[in-house]
Amino acid sequence: NVVRERILRHRSLQLREKQQDWQESPEGQKMLEFRRSLPAYKEREALLKAISENQVVVVSGETGCGKTTQLPQYILESEIEAARGAACSIICTQPRRISAMAVSERVAAERGEKLGESVGYKVRLEGMKGRDTRLLFCTTGILLRRLLVDRNLKGVTHVIVDEIHERGMNEDFLLIVLKDLLPRRPELRLILMSATLNAELFSSYFGGAPMLHIPGFTYPVRALFLENILEMTGYRLTPYNQIDDYGQEKMWKMQKQAQALKKRKSSIASTVEDALEAADFREYSFRTRESLSCWNPDSIGFNLIEHVLCHIVKKERPGAILVFMTGWDDINCLKDQLQSHPLLGDPSKVLLLACHGSMASSEQRLIFDKPEDGVRKIVLATNMAETSITINDVVFVVDCGKAKETSYDALNNTPCLLPSWISKAAARQRRGRAGRVQPGECYHLYPRCVYDAFADYQLPELLRTPLQSLCLQIKSLQLGSISEFLSSALQPPEPLSVKNAVEYLQIIGALDENENLTVLGRNLSMLPVEPKLGKMLILGAILNCLDPVMTVVAGLSVRDPFLMPFDKKDLAESAKAQFSARDYSDHLALVRAYDGWKEAERDQAGYEYCWKNFLSAQTLKAIDSLRKQFFFLLKDAGLIDCNKENCNKWSQDEHLIRAVICAGLFPGICSVMNKEKSITLKTMEDGQVLLYSNSVNAGVPKIPYPWLIFNEKVKVNSVFLRDSTGVSDSVLLLFGGNISRGGLDGHLKMLGGYLEFFMKPELADTYLSLKREIEELIQR
């Protein structure tokens, strides 16, 4: 111990020397000067004092004031100055991987170091962290994973949970776990950081923890609402009675949707609906389809945005423009549209950039750069530019008023992904982004009265997503009864959602009747993918068809590599169909596309291959690296033996792969009824469902399988299935569900329920004879 102490002390002194050297160097001085200009610097001593005197501290302050980059650094610096540097370990969680990476890079640069020295980062499947890393930026998921093997966070001195105002599921979950941990680790410090001022909620959750606010300075931002924008820019609106049928139908649908949401007691929906009535929104409807949809939860009005951007570029003073869009696909569509615009698409006048979570980091850096003189920077961003990323030279913000939000329909057990109105807090936050360097302007593309009706804050994610992975985590962290644990959340989820999640885990065999983790469940909780995907991986390993199964799982957990450009949809769809070879499976099409790409890559023809087949090289590369990670994870878990040949012995057997997909995705099953001219698809919960048009099974005259097993269904007006594979009766009977649950009888009974429900009398015989065969088999 004495030796250890000595080594620690020696290293601490080294760290202190290094820090001093940097701070005294000319570049270090310049950096310090910048850092001292940030609002957080004035509070440095007060923050450090509060942290040393209290176990939990809540810190709030305007975005850009220096919470994320400075506060963890203050702690690190003060520990190093006190010659305790080598003994401290600070973890700062970020809700998004992209911000964990960007922030760690920035902090390392501010300390005159390379990443991986005293500052590092770790996100799922990637990281940069060395032996001497004392400050680690990681995603919330990574810290939760660490808690799995290290319940007491041994050796960690400070945990900083950033962006808690976003109320992501992982963050809310982490807070329950940490609250439980704090009494066991009295010397551990917890700091919660938030951009907006609902600090009281968090403070009272932690028994009245002290709250510190960093007063920030931002320039005033003028808020322009739709009525002002229309007046200013002269954009013409059409009276209600001149809107075409399409427009009427859309508005009607929107009202219906709002009513449906209201039934589910969504505060956002009911207030917006009221606002729309009060606003007499008919006045504000537009002639063209695109701009009408500005009013619609489906997408936003591209033409209106184009019009506003033109107005700013032509008439307003210099300064970057930040446009808040609903999602990645909308950003891409709008970017395409703007690129063909005579003014906005002219690279000598406008620098057009996108900013969203799935962007490469090289592309991401461009956002921070200053454009050349006379060139206007326009950044199309998702709501991630609201708080986690700061673009300094923004003077104009265009806010569409919506964000894509997952919600969860517990009654039908169906996740929904709809762009929905943002909260007042988010709108204020978006507006604030315009006042960083000088007074700014914010164009809200909705009327004032709609803003007035926004909810104050967004509904926490825990209350609007399926809870399967979370429940599995609770069990593997040995946190006791699931429902009891979740009832101690900041805002507990509905009991029905919890019940659905537990039942699902029991159906797939991850939990037993008494909610105890099964062997499968334990294995699943070790894999950083959804339970159903983990189950596929495990079966792929056991049944020696690993390669194609890893491709399927990687594809499902990254994103679809098949591109569907708006204007070339037909070409793209037929390119995809070529990979399906009449086997009625999107998953197998993915396997073929990936295998073909690998082969083309070997001949250095990967890009041509992607171009020709409408595939995203970037996504395929991501799938490739994920596959490698899966292999090591499975090997570590002892699920594959060292012989790589063996685990691919049956990889060419498509029936087997189909069966593994079925085993993983069950109970995501729908029945297929081929009629003369059409195909009817039905699930037990939703009744009739539809396929996304980019599925290889969409638009075919007949599907020669009685069932489609699917990965995901999403409710967007109707329920749509994404990525499906045809399976036969026997595969469903043998691989659907969990044979060990309630014995064979229980399993068959459950499946029988499905068959009965779908009323397929012709199946009864197959079902019974299979049952008999299996029973005989077992008796033998």
When CB distances to Mg ion are compared, the closest residue is 68
CA–CA dist 185, 158 (Å, integer) = 11
Q: What tokens were used for 391?
A: 């673009």
Which residues share a beta bridge with 214? 61
Q: Which is nearer to ligand ADP, 235 or 368 (CB)?
A: 368
Q: How far is the CB of 293 from ligand ADP (least distance, A)?
A: 32
Q: Name 78's Cβ contacts closer than 8 Å, sequence gap at least 6.
A: 48
Q: Per rule CB under 6 A, is residue 64 in the interface with ligand ADP?
A: yes
Q: What tokens were used for 142?
A: 């990574």
Provide the edge-to-edge strand list for the sheet that holds 376-381. Answer: 221-224, 440-444, 394-399, 320-324, 376-381, 350-355
Piece of 63-71, 130-138, 344-352, 546-554 that binds ligand ADP (CB under 6 A):
63-71
Sequence letter at residue 333: C
**CB-facing half-sphere around the CA of 201: CA atoms within 13 A:** 17
Q: How far is the CB of 102 from ligand ADP (least distance, A)?
A: 6
Q: Which is nearer to ligand ADP, 117 or 530 (CB)?
A: 117
Sequence letter at residue 512: D
Three-state SS across 374-401?
CCEEEEEECCHHHHCCCCCCEEEEEECC
Q: Per rule CB under 6 A, is residue 196 in the interface with ligand ADP?
A: no
Q: Per rule CB under 6 A, is residue 428 in the interface with ligand ADP?
A: no
Give φ, ψ of 185 to 5 degrees: -130, 70
Q: Which is nearer to ligand ADP, 61 or 493 (CB)?
A: 61
Nearest Cα to Cα of residue 617 among 331, 364, 381, 360: 360
Q: What tokens were used for 452?
A: 């007035």
Q: Per rule CB under 6 A, is residue 113 in the interface with ligand ADP?
A: no
Rg (the chain; Cα; Å):
28
Q: Per rule CB under 6 A, is residue 390 in the interface with ligand ADP?
A: yes
CA–CA dist 211, 455 (Å, integer) = 24
Q: Per rule CB under 6 A, is residue 508 in the interface with ligand ADP?
A: no
CA–CA dist 572, 180 (Å, integer) = 52
Nearest Cα to Cα of residue 613 among 591, 596, 630, 631: 596
Helices assigned H by DSSP within 326-423: 328-339, 361-365, 384-387
CA–CA dist 697, 470 (Å, integer) = 32
Interacting partner of 61 out of ligand ADP, Mg ion, none (Cβ under 5 to 8 A depending on kind): ligand ADP
Q: Which is nearer to Mg ion, 164 or 309 (CB)?
A: 164
Q: Which is nearer to Mg ion, 92 or 467 (CB)?
A: 92
Q: Per rule CB under 6 A, is residue 66 in the interface with ligand ADP?
A: yes
Interacting partner of 390 out of Mg ion, ligand ADP, none (Cβ under 5 to 8 A depending on kind): ligand ADP
Q: Which is nearer to Mg ion, 92 or 633 (CB)?
A: 92
Residues in contact with Mg ion by CB under 5 A are: 67-68
Kindly report whether the peptide bond that precedes residue 667 is cis, defined as omega within 30 degrees of 0. yes
Which residues share a beta bridge with 687? 683
Looking up tokens 């969990």 gives 738
Q: How far is the CB of 556 from Mg ion (least distance, A)?
A: 31
Q: Per rule CB under 6 A, is residue 432 in the interface with ligand ADP?
A: no
Q: Per rule CB under 6 A, is residue 108 in the interface with ligand ADP?
A: no
Q: Which is nearer to ligand ADP, 102 or 380 (CB)?
A: 102
The answer to whether the CB of 312 falls within 8 A of the CB of 338 is no
Q: How far is the CB of 158 from ligand ADP (least distance, A)?
A: 16
- Give SS3 for 66: coil
Q: How many residues sit in the footprint of ligand ADP (CB under 6 A)?
A: 15
Q: Per rule CB under 6 A, is residue 104 in the interface with ligand ADP?
A: no
Q: Which is nearer to ligand ADP, 63 or 407 (CB)?
A: 63
CA–CA dist 324, 244 (Å, integer) = 28
Q: How far is the CB of 168 from Mg ion (least distance, A)?
A: 14
Q: Which is nearer to ligand ADP, 107 or 622 (CB)?
A: 107
Interacting partner of 724 out of Mg ion, ligand ADP, none (Cβ under 5 to 8 A depending on kind): none
Q: How far is the CB of 374 from ligand ADP (least distance, A)?
A: 23
Residues 35-54 that bind ligand ADP (CB under 6 A): 38
Mark 391-420 with x for binding to ligand ADP (rule: CB under 6 A) and - for no binding. -x----------------------------
Single residue of 12, 19, 63, 423 touching ligand ADP by CB under 6 A: 63
Q: Which is nearer to Mg ion, 160 or 272 (CB)?
A: 160
Single residue of 12, 19, 60, 70 touching ligand ADP by CB under 6 A: 70
Give φ, ψ of 324 to 5 degrees: -90, 120
Q: How far is the CB of 38 from ligand ADP (least distance, A)?
A: 6
Would you tell me which residues interact with ligand ADP (CB under 6 A)?
A: 38, 61, 63-70, 102, 106, 368, 390, 392
